[in-house]
């Protein structure tokens, strides 16, 4: 079990996302926001990786399915990035799947294509 302060790190993630959104605005490619968010989090001293391979293990066997976590913060928090007009249920299902498959308990779905980032920032907790 990790000893990270989820509340503190969550606040840093939200603040970093707001900083990126304020600087770049809505309407850009997801990959732009990902690169900027990586820079923003690293500049704040946060351990972060992007495009993290996530295997699908079924009954002890790794199946041929290639999942990638957009951003993994402190090896514990999954951040799924979007730049879309509407958050479809499949995006939420993707994050929930990543949380379950990686056995992580906290994730965020962040849509940068909104006028106010607070309207595009959603928190998910894996059932523990």
Q: Which residues of 39-68 are buried (b: 16+ CB within 10 A; e: fewer)?
A: ebbeeeebebebebebeeeeeeeeeeeeee
pTM value is: 0.94
Burial class (CB in 10 A: 0-12, 13-18, 19+), 77: buried
Total Cβ atoms within 10 A of residue 1: 6
User: pLDDT band for position 111 (50/70/90)?
Assistant: very high
| CA-based radius of gyration for the chain | 14
- The 3-state DSSP class for residue 27 equals coil
CA-to-CA separations, 118 to 38, 45, 50, 100, 122, in angstroms, rounded: 19, 23, 22, 25, 8
pLDDT in tens, 56-104: 999 999 999 989 999 999 999 999 999 999 999 999 999 999 999 999 9
pLDDT at 128: 57
- The 3-state DSSP class for residue 44 equals coil
């Amino acid at each position: 079990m990790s000893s990270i302060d989820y509340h503190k790190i969550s606040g840093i993630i939200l603040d970093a996302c707001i900083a990126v959104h304020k600087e770049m605005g809505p309407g850009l490619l997801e990959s732009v926001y990902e690169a900027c968010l990586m820079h923003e989090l690293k500049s704040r001293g946060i351990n972060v990786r992007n495009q993290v391979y996530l295997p699908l293990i079924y009954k002890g066997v790794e199946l041929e399915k290639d999942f990638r976590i957009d951003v993994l913060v402190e090896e514990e928090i999954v951040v799924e990035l979007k730049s879309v007009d509407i958050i479809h249920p499949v995006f939420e299902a993707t994050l929930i799947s990543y949380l379950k498959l990686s056995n992580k308990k906290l994730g965020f779905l962040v849509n940068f294509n909104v006028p106010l980032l607070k309207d595009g920032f959603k928190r998910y907790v894996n059932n523990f």
